[in-house]
Amino acid sequence: MKTAWRAGDMRDGAKTLAPDAGGEPFPEALARLEGFSGTIVVELAGMAPEDCAPAVDAREAEARGEEERRLAALPGLTVAVVETALCGLAATLALACRARVAAPEGAIALIEASQGLVPAGTALWRLRELCGMGEAIGIAVRGARIEAARAAAIGLVDALAPAQVLRDTAAAMEPPARRPPPRLFRTRLGRRLVRRQALGELAARAAPRAAAAAVRLLFEEPSPARAAAAIAELAADPERRQLLRFEHAKAALLGGPRALPRRALVLAAEGGWQWVCALAQRGVRVRWCLRDARALGDGLCWIMRDTERYAPERKEQAAACVSVSEERAGFAGRDLVVTDGTAPLGAAERRHLGRGAVVLVDRGKRAAGPSGVEDAEVAFGYDALTGRTCVLHGRSERAAAFLRGLGFMVLARNDAEPVFRCLSTFETRWRQFREGGVGDRKILGSLQAMGFATRETARRLRAHGPAARATPDIAYELVCAMWRGLQGVDPAAAERIDLALVLETGFPAHRGGPLGFLEQVKARPGVLREIGLADQAGF
């Protein structure tokens, strides 16, 4: 385990076990709690990235099984705090605790199946004990991310609480009463029938061997050694190598893995509300300093409207993530500060930032990469910024990598020019048709003339032979979503396109729309060829 831990702090009658860069190894931290029989609050957010990844060999799997066993053997009532998405060893330790308390944005993600592996230790069997065999099979086979509300419904989480009082709720927890598993799974015949049905449905999965191994383990007695042996066998499987190649290609297409901060402070004037909107929609808790945001407008209203258009519950989530301050303060505990080049951080302000905090210098259309940039500072210039997309001014590999880690789709200005031309062409044609009173059928016909085919056309081609590459469903879905949105139809079906900004601003090319989609494919000719758009003049 790479994570260092701090143990023993007493607060509200409960002791704490939490990651701490200046702490001690996990066994030594647990030794401080062996004689304590009260409540132990186990905070798992902030573990090392290596510990949040699946175990890939037998030795690592056995070590994780031993760490899980030591935590489960503590005499006190261990209560896991699920404040964010937990995966890898963090999810295993959460399941090893006797109770779990989650924030609404928390989740437990057993991602091993998506990488052709099975969870280490006894995580699978604990899952079976907590939520029953049926739910355990579905979660293990799909590699599912279980959101907090769903986890509470199936018995995986014992209580839900706002993030502000999550620790206090955990400290006040009583030992939960466990329900017995469904009667069907108590008999040998019932287990045999369910296992046969589950194994029969694995052929369509991305990693059928890993899913089959997980199901077989669920029907056996708990044994960390068996899980470690299964991991060693699956790690050398050619199916896993093929699956990883696919996952890496998909991650590159979507902008890389998400390494989101937990708390951010936004001091940027130009584009400040876009930063607040983008980070809040990703679940990051944001404080926005209005005094430095001189070009405010109705930015906060924009955030609420943008999130509500995608789904009503997102409005509440965004509102819970955003706090507004009139003072340039609140640096303590922040691991991301967004500021612009006209308001750099002072030395005293930098001292208040925690270890590992990053300062993102938003320089707008000014030149990126100022002299004397510190290691913890990422500076960049941009030509366009939306809640999902950033068009960089100039080339900065470091800035591009960091922005992808935040979940932005990054595009260079010279690569964006054809995209802007395509958007302008579509906007002009759409306005001409709408002002001329042309019906829906003619609008779809104009889209076909631009190189996009309708779903019906693609289906007819499939009925008479292999589908032509020039008529991909994905292109039709893109433009059809744009067309519906421009007529004021609810764009919930087009969530992955930044359509809410399109509806509010009348489709300006630099404010989202299909830019998020087109930028992914523009820089990758192989992807263009795959979806059949490489020979289209608009691209």
Whether the pLDDT of residue 284 is over 60: the answer is yes
Confidence of residue 127 (pLDDT cuts 50, 70, 90): confident
At residue 234, the pLDDT reads 82
Structure tokens at 138: 């579905």
Mind listing the pLDDT tens digit for each residue in 5-37?
888 778 778 888 888 877 888 888 888 888 888
Average pLDDT on 242-250 reads 55
Cβ(217)–Cβ(226) under 8 Å? yes
Q: How confident is the model at residue 142 (pLDDT cuts 50, 70, 90)?
A: low
Range of lowest pLDDT (116-125, 224-233, 408-417): 408-417
For residues 297 and 315, what is the distance between their CA atoms, to the nearest angstrom? 19
Hey, what long-range contacts does 6-15 have (CB within 8 A, 24 or more apart)? 7/32, 7/33, 8/32, 8/33, 11/167, 11/171, 12/168, 12/171, 12/172, 13/38, 13/39, 13/171, 14/38, 14/39, 14/40, 14/41, 14/79, 14/170, 14/171, 15/39, 15/40, 15/41, 15/76
For residue 386, what are its two tokens? Answer: 């939306």
Confidence of residue 484 (pLDDT cuts 50, 70, 90): very low
Instruction: Assess whether pLDDT exceeds 80 at residue 383.
Output: no
Amino acid at 58: A
What confidence score (pLDDT) does residue 250 get? 43
Between 370 and 284, residue with greater pLDDT: 284
The 99-102 sheet, strands edge to edge: 5-11, 14-19, 39-43, 77-82, 99-102, 159-160
Q: Which residues contact 188 (CB under 8 A, 6 or more apart)?
A: none
Quick one: three-class SS letters along 421-472?
Answer: HHHHHHHHHHHHHHHCCCCHHHHHHHHHHCCCCCHHHHHHHHHCCCCCCCCC
CA terminus-to-terminus distance, the chain: 48
Backbone angles phi, psi at 296, to 5 degrees: -70, -60
Residue 395 pLDDT grade (very low, low, confident, very high; cuts 50, 70, 90): low
More confident residue, 164 or 311: 164
- CA-based nearest residue to 304, from 335, 328, 281: 281
Q: How far apart are CA 381 and CA 7, in angstroms?
A: 43
pLDDT at 388: 58
Amino acid at 405: G
- For the ranges 53-57, 379-383, 470-474, the one whose mean pLDDT is highest: 53-57
Between these two residues, 57 and 332, which has the higher pLDDT value?
Answer: 57
pLDDT > 70? residue 448: no
Residue 360 has pLDDT above 70, yes or no: yes
How do residues 400-444 score in pLDDT, each as one tens digit? 777 776 766 666 665 555 445 555 555 566 566 667 766 555 555
Please, are residues 311 and 492 in contact by the beta-carbon 8 Å criterion? yes
Average pLDDT over residues 517-527: 43
Rounded to the nearest integer, the mean pLDDT of the chain is 66
Report CA dihedral (183, 187, 188, 189) to the nearest 10 degrees.
Answer: -70
Q: Report the DSSP pairing between strands 382-385 and 389-392.
A: antiparallel
> Residue 180: which pLDDT band, with cuts at 50, 70 and 90?
low
Beta bridge partners of residue 380, listed in sequence order: 362
At 204 the pLDDT is: 37
User: Is the alpha carbon torsion for 188, 189, 193, 194 positive or negative?
Assistant: negative
Question: Residues 280, 256: contact at Cβ < 8 Å?
Answer: no
Mean pLDDT of the 314-332 span = 67
Q: Which single residue is written with the structure tokens 């200005």? A: 413
Percent of the chain at pLDDT > 70 equals: 51
- Residues 181, 186, 190, CA angle at the centre, nearest 5°? 110
Decide which of 209 and 227 is more confident.
227
Predicted local distance difference test score (pLDDT) of residue 254:
39
Q: Which of 86-90, 104-108, 312-316, 452-456 has the lowest mean pLDDT?
A: 452-456
Q: 471 or 371, which is more confident? A: 371
As a whole number, mean pLDDT of residues 137-162 equals: 80
Distance CA(307)–CA(309), nearest Å, equals 5
* Percent residues over pLDDT 90 in the chain: 0
Average pLDDT over residues 89-102: 88
Can you tell me the mean pLDDT for 294-301?
44
Residue 271 has pLDDT above 60, yes or no: yes
Q: Go through the domains of the chain in sequence order and give each one's CATH number.
A: 5-253 (3.90.226.10), 263-407 (3.40.50.720), 415-531 (no CATH)
Buried b (16+ CB within 10 A) or exposed e, 66-89: ebbebbbebebbbbbbbbbbbbbb
**Residue of higher predicted confidence among 202 and 403:** 403
pLDDT (0 to 100) of residue 225? 86
Mean pLDDT along residues 138-142 = 74
